[in-house]
Amino acid sequence: MAGSRRVPEGPAPDPAVQKLRIRYAKRGRMRFTSTRDFQRALERAVRKAGLPMAYSAGFHPHPKISYANAAPTGAASEAEFVEISLTRSLEPGSVRAGLDAALPEGLDVLEVSDAADLPGALADHLQGSLWALRFRAAEDVPGREAVGSAVEAFRAIEELHVTRMMKKGPRELDVRAAVVTLAVADDTPVEVPAATGDVVVLATVRHTTPTVRPEEIWGALRQVGGLGLPRPVSTRLRQGPLRGNEVAASLTG
């Protein structure tokens, strides 16, 4: 009949009865994986682990997976989050073990919890990140004192703009407004593989739109310090609620 709507054949997909929130890490060479690379890896892993995934309706069903605020390609992370919906309730611990075994080495599942235990959208809880920027030691690289002076200069100014190329053209971002705290670390965090002489800068960053990236903090330090700082290796240590000047260790704060 003319004007009638096409309807997919077959039964409707089973409804989702459980949503699980997953915290995972990107380590080693896996920090170079893009968001799309991880999406493909995760979809393969849920099939390999035999999870009862919920799917969208329509002619092209997709597994119900939600991604939030992924780290930029090239950055390592201990605090990436994703949510999956299942058609049958499972123990979070068994899902963690199954997914971790199915994912490539370096994409490590650290924690799985029932999303019902944390009301509200996942993105609403991701208010800030704690980043570690590791500057490798070398003869032509400024040392701890010089990096510390650049950090002090950064903290002393009220605003500092950098330019990011967006899909619609260049856009200026105020890096200073997004950085809540910035300091040279007295002790290297255990999550950061560092060699003797490396300098690690810790940055607490408020999530803005768009979110300021570690490379933009690096660019700002080069600008205010007049230093030839090499590109750092960046690791996200935490991501979650912002409590004063600190990122909470868990999503519940």
b/e per residue 136-171 (b: at least 16 CB within 10 A): eeeeebbeeeebbbbbebbeeeeebebeeeeeeeee
Which tokens hold the place of 170? Answer: 């260049």
Encode the chain (253 residues) as per-residue pLDDT tens digits: 455 566 566 667 788 899 999 999 999 999 999 999 999 999 999 999 999 999 988 777 889 999 989 999 999 999 999 999 999 999 999 999 999 999 999 999 999 999 998 878 899 999 999 999 999 887 667 788 889 999 999 999 999 998 888 888 888 889 999 999 999 999 999 999 888 889 999 999 999 988 999 999 999 999 998 778 889 999 999 999 999 999 998 886 6
Instruction: Examine domains 18-124 and 126-247 and report if their fold is the same.
Output: yes
DSSP 32: G
Spans of all domains in the chain = 18-124, 126-247
DSSP 249: S
Report d(CA 30, CA 236) in Å as an integer. 14
Sign of CA dihedral 58, 55, 105, 35: positive
Work out the burial of residue 9: count CB atoms within 10 Å of its CB; fewer than 13 is exposed, 13-18 middle, 19 or more buried.
Answer: exposed
State the pLDDT at residue 104. Answer: 96
Under 8 Å between Cβ of 241 and 124: no
Under 8 Å between Cβ of 85 and 104: no
The answer to whether domain 18-124 has CATH 3.40.50.300 is: no
> Which residues partner with 174 through β-bridges?
161
The residue among 75, 79, 71, 67 whose CA lies nearest residue 111 is: 79
Which of 3.40.1130, 3.30.479, 3.30.70, 3.90.1200 would CATH assign to domain 126-247? 3.30.70
State the pLDDT at residue 97. Answer: 97
